Structure formats: structure tokens, C-alpha cells
Amino acid sequence: MKKFIFIISIPILLAFIIILGINFYVVIKYNKRILTNKEAYESKGDCILILGAGIKNDGPSDMLRDRLIVGSKLYENSSIKKIIVSGDHSKDNYDEVAVMKKYLINKLNVPSENIYKDHYGVATYDSIYRAKEVYSCKKLIIVTQKYHLYRSLYLADKIGIDAYGVSSSLEPYKGQLWRELREILARDKDFVKGIILPKPEFKIEVLPASATGDDTNDR
């Protein structure tokens, strides 16, 4: 019985080591690409990418609200004047990007024509892949909570974007411990995606260079 338990425990232990090893690799390697607000304000780039984080009562969730606040401050204080709001609008009855754009316009005074809606940012990989292939961003600043930045920056690197991150962790969030634990597996999953580089589920149509944010309001 002891021998059987020992034999079974070896692959479990190896899997555990691999999972944690990949997690720590992504965190340590991409931590240096997370900027302070001052560093971000002095940076140059093509786009500010704000990643979706769910909606609540027809408005942004707490985490998404903070991403929008930080993204708008970056827009206001830096030379980057193109914001991509990337979220899930794959179904007609759920429009995350409309909520994001409305909040930026009405609450944070960002001009509509400078806010580009990416309707098919259904996952972090899709959002970053589309930032390059649809919106032609070669250098960007990603705005999301710090725990999510490591994986986002890894994916951007593998997709071929020169990306830096700005943390939008402005307050403690309910259920954050669970998110941190779940993120370990998410980093491992996207580590594999960064090697395979699969095509996203939804169509890729390059946005013309002359397009404004208002041209992206309808799918």
C-alpha cells in the first residue's frame, strides 16, 4: 500500500512543481514591465488597452471601474491618446465594452472618438491578440489589476507587442484570495497559449488607420 501511494504521489508532485514553476517564472520575468504611474505618464506607445472585468447593475464592476479610472488618468497625463476597451460583447444581451465606453465618456470625460471598442475580448489572450491584429498596436500600456498584469504582459510578449503594464489595484476586492489562487492555473494555461499562439475564436478584421473610436461603436 505504501509503495502504491509513493508511486501515485510522484506524478502529482511533479505536476505541482511544474504548475508552480511556470507561475513563478511568469511573475518574476514580467514584474519588471510593471510601471509606476509616473513612469507610465512619461511612456510613449500606440494604445492604452483596458481589459474587461465584468459589469454589475448596468455599470462597471468595482474592479472594472478602477481599471477605467487608471486608464483615463494615463490618457490624460501621457502622450497616448488611443484607448481600447476590450471585453465581452459576443452575445447581444451582454455588452461589456458599451458599459466601459459610456463610463469613460460620462464619468471620466474621455472623448468618444478616442475610445475604440473591441467587442470580442472574451479572454485575456483574445484581447491582446486583437490589439495587435485588429487595432495595429505595436507598443501599448495594459491596464488591469496587478495580479492579472503578469499573464497579460507574458502574452503580449509572445504575440509580439512591446507592452508595459500599469496596476489598477486601487483597493482590496472581495474574493481576491480566490482570484489569486485561480490565477496560478490561468498563468499556466496562457503560458501554453503563448507557445501555441492559436487563432482567436472570433473573426479578425483589420481596422483602417483612418478609423476613429466612433467607427467601432457597432459590431
Percent of the chain at pLDDT > 90 equals 86
Which residues 6+ apart lie within 8 Å of 214 measured at CB?
112, 113
Average pLDDT value over all residues in the chain = 94
Residue 13 pLDDT: 85
- The count of other CB atoms within 10 Å of the CB of residue 151 is 27
**Is the pLDDT confidence value at 4 over 80?**
no
- The count of other CB atoms within 10 Å of the CB of residue 136 is 13
2-216 CATH fold: Rossmann fold (3.40.50)
**Is the pLDDT confidence value at 95 over 60?**
yes
Q: Give 188's pLDDT tier (boundaries 50, 70, 90).
A: very high
Tell me the average pLDDT across 145-171.
98
Contact at 8 Å (CB) between 26 and 187? yes
DSSP the chain: -HHHHHHHHHHHHHHHHHHHHHHHHHHHHHGGGEEPHHHHHT---SEEEEEP--EETTEE-HHHHHHHHHHHHHHHHSS---EEEE-B-SBTTB-HHHHHHHHHHHTT---GGGEEEETB--SHHHHHHHHHHTT--SEEEEEE-HHHHHHHHHHHHHHT-EEEEEE---S--TTHHHHHHHHHHHHHHHHHHHHH-PPPSS---PPPTT--GGGGS--
pLDDT tens digits, 15-37: 889 999 999 999 999 999 999 99
**Is the pLDDT confidence value at 56 over 60?**
yes
Residue 88 pLDDT: 94
**Is the pLDDT confidence value at 219 over 80?**
no
Residue 31 pLDDT: 98
Domain boundaries along the sequence of the chain: 2-216
Tell me the average pLDDT across 95-116.
97
Which residue, 70, 66, 94, is CA-closest to 83?
70
What is the pTM assigned to this prediction? Answer: 0.94
Residue 155 pLDDT: 98
Grid coordinates belonging to 48: 492604452
Of the listed ranges 11-15, 110-114, 127-131, 181-185, the one predicted with least confidence: 11-15
pLDDT tens digits, 121-132: 999 999 999 999
